Chains A and B, each alone.
Chain A
């Protein structure tokens, strides 16, 4: 290494130094920007460990006079975050299973068969995924009331399953088209029924797209706020998004409690994001329709 350095001409050494300085500036600027970007997150984390008295008297930009976990405890039990989170799971998991299963059925038919209306049905699903929710609110509200499902988990599970079918079908249908047809034909020649081909060959081969979709859809359904607002009334059934909005009304000035609640509410999606990040990003790019 040393000999190499000695052999280089002085001009090149200056060039190297220039590169090093440039890299230092680049990393410094990026780190500063990243920290600035995450200020809202970090500062709410810090706030949730403090008390409102402390913040009111000393302001946020002061050394905390005491650090406490009380606000998390209070948010968990007294502010009912525990219950809201449970509701979110009761709504999200069946919706997820339902939409993935139904969308995989649709996608198999759309990707692997030629029949009248194939492209039209596909268009319908893709168009549906971009609709503004507002166009559905009133009739769905009416339908849910007619079916006697108002203020039940079932209403939310059904609408999430139905609405997300569009996106899931879009992604999975395109994925299934990339599976080579020879595999399926070989199975067909062996006398395998269509449902078995779908179930035992197509689905296992589509697992990557299923994983990406499951991760992405989990966050989306978990983070839904509007439908919970429209289709539920009882506080006991609210998912965590709608629950947080109620908290804000209830504990107007207690910012440490609200930020603690918000952080607890984010834990499941953050967990998914941290461990399944690859699938999450994959889903996003698949879904942009490139």
Chain B
């Protein structure tokens, strides 16, 4: 904070003495072309004709020796490297004028690196496949132009051009009207909001319409009224899924919450090695759904897994349960795996909540001679109430979102169907998209209650303000 305050006035006298080279122009041009390079690489078709892939896909084909990889030079990996490098170095340069010049030279270097791919493509290599089957397309062209600009932007540092640009911007800003103050926040919001509306808000609303149609994913949707919803309540799979979601929810708001709170209370006190215990409990948080699903499927495997051989060998039982193969308990097996991850999350949130409790309150309690249980029951737990509410709401929302584990562990068989998985299966396996839409709407309607609660809890203060 103090550095900003002190550098700002220092710059002005320097300006007055001699017009220094302003590297902002060069850096800015570099940043824009790097963005264009990356955009072309990821989104635009690199070739057309036989191989209509974009640059990113071609690169992955090269790197893992897949057939289409031979249609490009392996040097294609230089393109994203140069683009990312330029983005980083120009951002670094733009944030402080002293580094600008260096950043500009660095950008040129990256431009050269990117151009090496094109040089390699046109001159160095002699690949008949490329000569015969490949015609370059828009992505390739944009990338080539962007790479040339990257190399060339250092020219803007030359005193003559730099001064010219400075004058041009002076006259330009004098002629253009200033942006009115009320417009400024909307300018900041425009791009992200457009993306958000197109990809999140509009689809949410559009699902409601699709749920009233018989869309199958191929032909255009036809309006059929509430038929999907009537079918829904008549089908057994839907009530089964709803029941399992309720089970999931019931376990989720009790077991991980209690266990997480207990662990948080233990680890909140200073203890030797406490950090390692904590890490062990929240490490499952970084595992992806599929990894957890696979690991636990193996744990539950009836004959070669982890639990059953132990049960049989130790003589506890000769006919151990089938776990995921048993219709009665399969859903609970999945919930246990899910709760395994959830406990760490709950613990983290409670630990943060405990840190915010004023220690003088606890000391006061201890002086008054309360025992540990009373301290927890009458002081700590009430103070944690806001955290508990948030955790319960998050647990409910998470249990309604449950999908990965069910999809991988049982695909919804063995009486383990849940709404999220049922929706996916109906829409994308059976191509009953309209019907799937109706399930999504039901799921959404249940969630909305709790999302509303969550919003109300977190944003209460904002509203009062």
Which of A's residues lie within 8 Å of B, judged by CB?
27, 30, 34, 37-41, 43-44, 47, 55-56, 59-61, 80, 82-83, 86-87, 90, 93-94, 97, 102-103, 105-106, 108-110, 113, 115, 118-119, 121-128, 130-141, 143, 152-154, 157-159, 161-163, 165-166, 169, 180, 183, 186-187, 190, 194, 198-201, 204-205, 219, 222-223, 225-226, 229-230, 236-237, 240-242, 244-245, 248, 255, 258-259, 262, 265-266, 269-270, 272-273, 277, 280-281, 284-285, 288-290
Contact = CB atoms under 8 A, between A and B. Distances in A.
B457 interface: yes
A230 B191 CA distance: 26
Given A127-B455, A137-B423, A236-B66, A226 B404 contact: yes
B200 A162 contact: yes
A131 B199 CA distance: 13
B207 A186 contact: no
B439 interface: yes
CB-CB nearest 9 A-B residue pairs = A139-B203, A223-B288, A162-B199, A289-B458, A109-B188, A113-B185, A102-B192, A285-B352, A83-B64
Contacts of B192: 102-103, 105-106, 165, 169
Interface stretch (B150-158, B248-256, B290-298): B290-298
Contacts, number: 319
B199 A143 contact: yes
B268 interface: no
B132 to A, nearest CB: 22
B397 to A, nearest CB: 6
Contacts of A194: 184, 188
B202 interface: yes
Contact of B304 (A59, A106, A200, A225): A59
A265 B185 contact: no
Given A37-B281, A90-B60, A139-B207, A43 B306 contact: yes
Given A134-B444, A136-B207, A105 B298 contact: no
A90 B210 CA distance: 32
B50 to A, nearest CB: 16
19 contacts: A41-B295, A44-B298, A59-B313, A60-B304, A60-B305, A86-B60, A94-B38, A122-B462, A123-B455, A124-B196, A126-B455, A132-B440, A138-B427, A219-B286, A241-B288, A245-B290, A248-B408, A262-B295, A288-B387
Nearest to A277: B279
A133 B401 contact: yes
B54 A131 contact: no
B349 to A, nearest CB: 5
Contact of A289 (B42, B286, B390): B390
Nearest to A239: B288
B277 interface: yes
A158 B39 CA distance: 12
A223 B450 CA distance: 25
Contact of B200 (A166, A222, A259, A288): A166
B454 interface: yes
B380 to A, nearest CB: 16
A108 B186 CA distance: 11
B451 A131 contact: yes
A258 B403 CA distance: 20
Interface residues of B, number: 115
Contacts of A97: 87
B299 A40 contact: yes
A135 B427 CA distance: 12
A30 B301 CA distance: 28
Given A126-B455, A219-B285, A244-B290, 12 more contacts: A47-B298, A131-B444, A132-B443, A137-B424, A169-B192, A199-B94, A200-B94, A225-B403, A241-B289, A245-B407, A288-B391, A290-B390
Given A60-B304, A139-B207, A153-B54, A198 B199 contact: no
B122 interface: no
B441 interface: yes
A201 B4 contact: yes
B304 A55 contact: yes
A265 B290 CA distance: 10
B356 A290 contact: yes
A134 to B, nearest CB: 4
Contacts of B419: 134
B95 A204 contact: yes
Given A135-B440, A143-B203, A226-B403, A269 B287 contact: yes
A132 B199 contact: no
Interface string B1-44: 10011001000000000000000000000000000001000110
Interface in B274-328: 277, 279-291, 294-299, 301, 304-306, 309-310, 313
A157 B287 CA distance: 21
B189 A106 contact: yes
Contacts of B199: 136, 140, 143, 158-159, 162-163
B191 A61 contact: no
B408 A59 contact: no
Contacts of A225: 288-290, 403-404, 407
Contacts of A109: 184-186, 188-189
A132 B454 CA distance: 14
Contact of B57 (A44, A132, A183, A236): A236
A5 B440 CA distance: 70
Contacts of B61: 236
